[in-house]
Structure 1
Amino acid sequence: MKTIKTSLLAAAVVSAFAMPAMASDINVKISGRAHLSLDHLDNGVDSGLNVSSNSSRLRFAASTEVAEGLTAVMQLEQNIRFDEGNGSFATRDSFLGLRGDFGLVRVGFFDTPLKVVRGRTDMFGDRVGDARNITNVPTGAAGANFDNRFRNGVHYRSPAMNGFTFDLQYTPHNNTGSTVENERESYSTSLTYNANGLYAAAAYESYENAAGDNPNALRLGVSYDVSKEFKVAALYQAARNLENGNRNVWGVGASYKIEDYTLRGQFYQAGKNDLADSGANMIAVGVDRNFGRALTMYAVYGLTSNDDAAAFTIASGGRDTRLTPIAGENSAGFSLGMIYNF
């Protein structure tokens, strides 16, 4: 793995140095998303009405063609809490890189190739019913979140070849500060096919957590545009070296457009690990009202059914206001939301 990683990065760097310099304009773009929802959340014992800002963001991006066939790229993205009036600087995809015929090389803090697969197949990303409620270990268990961004990431993406793209990310130290022992070393890689309405990807990730373990996961994801109106998706995850043993997860989803409306639904199941009665099922259904790309209004209902020893939620992934689950209790949520892209 290290030999492949070094060779790919070296080839990209050599290509960059060999290109003649040239002057070019700097292209700067400001964009983002405001996503808020009004949610009635129920953990099986108590319930309440909440307002949540869900992965709302402000993004600054810049690019400059610095040589023929070579472009410098930069992005700074931060979370904005529209619900509580605060936010965190550079907590989302933020990086500096080079793009050319060799592909893309970047360094920074951004989604891993494994995380991207879930995002491409999730029908309720950042909403009640998000697939991350099931793909990640329940609240209170240690070291098995497979939808994180790695700190100090170094990433290579190949150019698309007949629809195929290869991604490799390496993190020498997935923590703050410096290191002399490369603790918390992490890898994430994927092979993706994307053409003619078909997206298919296989990804693998392994990282060293604070306990020194190496949780790892294999993900297989697919989505297909059956028609302009109808889309289907599926995800399978096999996670290993978890706190309480291995766990498999699978899910399926679909969406159907009717003029300005989109009907969507998905079902996910988490198998049990070494603990008895530790599995869960999640179902979510919803409808969107689309006003072009800029504005979407939606309604979602979701339910997570937990076994006696399981504590999965219905409202955690991608949301700033989260529902803490109770082991053995069902978790439910009804959400009315609005997404504005600018």
Structure 2
Amino acid sequence: MKMKLIAVAVGAALSVPAVAMADVSIYGRAHVSVDYLDDGARYSETNLSSNSSRLGFKGDHEINPDLKAFFQIEQQINFTTGSSDGGTSFATRDTFVGLGGNFGAIQVGRFDSPFKVARGPFNLFGDQVGDMNNLARVTAGRLDERYDNTIQYTTPDFSGFNVKVAYSMYRGQSLNITDTTANNEDSDAFSTSLNYLGGPLEASLAYEKVEEDTLRGEADSIRAAVAYKIVDNFKLVGFYQTTDFDGVSTTTSAQRDAGTFNVYGLGGEFAIAKNTALKATWMTNDSDADDSDATMWVVGIEHKLDKAVRVYANYAVVDNDDNVAYSPWMQSRTANPQNQSVVNGVNEAAGEKAAGFTVGLRYDF
């Protein structure tokens, strides 16, 4: 009798994990490239880079026909050294849990803000040399983040439209209101977007505001991104963003000007064969600071070997005004050489043209 009870207990124990894991999947991305990078001054080298590579777990569970629970745990991985880009902590990328149903979806955790996601329609070179973030996500006025302690509501789909509203309560593990350098009492952030996907059109309009103790200081921004498929094999994309940076109480007017800018651009993708496309974008960053504008253009070709694997080659150039030294490789990469041309406190790359040529492989699994 005891043996039968033990057998039943063991069988039940083994069956529970099987049920719990039934709707859980493992996914990831291995994205590596070989890049030749030249900042126009002293730095001109070839690098191997891992570009926002990741490993994740996600799943959902139906509570009843009108309600389900869902989760995601995602970690950035460096495929060139084997280390985690997030340091010692786990779940450095989008990690959340939530409930969804006819009312839409509510999720809590740490994940891309609606403002950040809204750049998607324009971002033809995401996580590559020439990524739009190299001009749209710069200076102390940069937003476009993955915030801690966030709760987000996403509406149901209404004829292709949905709205996302997110609020981040504070940075770190808990709210600290003491008068110290660790104060984060005013570190909340608000982000929202209106999104449309239907037929040949994909578009997003977003707004984000962060308070004084969030990241680099108080700022707010509006962005719009659109992609329109004119014909089956040609897509036109456009982008506009305006950012106003106030900083903190000690921020100078010059620093505010440096963090306040407009950025806009156009681009297109032309399919020359079933699995091969030519892509190009042009962008400019118009800063309130004197002689601090920059323009970037990118051309590339991408070939999909199948649904999971693609290869590509891009060439990108950033043309800087005298007081800035932006490059087309500053974002979403492990190979990100910076300040290589600073001599006696002077960046000799300021005012120069920085260029990068890359050949990459991306495998989504």
1:177-224 CA-to-partner distances (Å, cap 9, x unmatched) read: 211544211000011121112112110001124488421110011111
* Aligned-partner residue type, residue 271 of structure 1: D
Give the drift of 1:130: 0.3
Asked if 1:265 is matched to 2:280, the reply is: yes
Map 1:1-342; keep pairs closer than 5 Å: 26-45=22-41, 46-87=43-84, 88=86, 89-138=90-139, 142=140, 144-173=141-170, 175-179=171-175, 181=177, 182-210=185-213, 213-241=217-245, 243-245=255-257, 246-259=260-273, 260-273=275-288, 275-324=289-338, 326-342=349-365
Q: Matches of 1:145 and 1:241 in 2, distance apart?
A: 9
In structure 1, what is the equivalent of residue 6 of structure 2? Answer: none
- Cα deviation for residue 145 of structure 1 reads 2.2
Question: Does structure 2 conserve the Cα–Cα contact (< 8 Å) formed by 1:26 and 1:63?
Answer: no
Contact 2:119 2:204 in 1 (8 A): no
Contact 1:217–1:238 (8 Å) recurs in 2: yes
Identity of aligned residues (%): 37
Moved beyond 3 Å, runs of 4+: 23-26, 209-213
> Displacement of 1:291 after TM fit?
1.0
The alpha-carbon distance between structure 1 residues 160 and 69, as it changes in their structure 2 partners (threshold 3 A), is same
Is the contact made by 1:313 and 1:323 (CA closer than 8 Å) also made in structure 2?
A: no
Taking the aligned partners of 2:121 and 2:112, their CA distance within structure 1 comes to 12
Q: Is the 8 A contact 1:208 1:214 kept in 2?
A: yes
Q: Distance in 1 between matches of 2:172 and 2:131?
A: 28
- Greater shift after overlay, 55-64 or 113-122? 113-122
Q: Once the two structures are superposed, what CA deviation does each residue of 1:297-320 show, in whole Å capped at 9, x if it has no partner?
A: 100000000000122221022212
Displacement of 1:238: 0.4
Secondary structure (helix, strand or coil) at the match of 2:93 reads: coil
CA distance in structure 2 between the partners assigned to 1:24 and 1:303 by the alignment: 50
Native 8 Å contact 1:24 1:66 kept in 2: no
In structure 1, the partner of 2:12 is none
2:121 touches 2:204 (CA, 8 Å); kept in 1? no
Q: Which runs of 5+ in 2 are unaligned?
A: 1-18, 178-184, 247-254, 340-348
Q: TM-score, normalised by structure 1?
A: 0.88
Opposite residue 225 of structure 2, the aligned amino acid is G
TM-score by length of 2: 0.82
Secondary structure, aligned partner of 2:325: coil
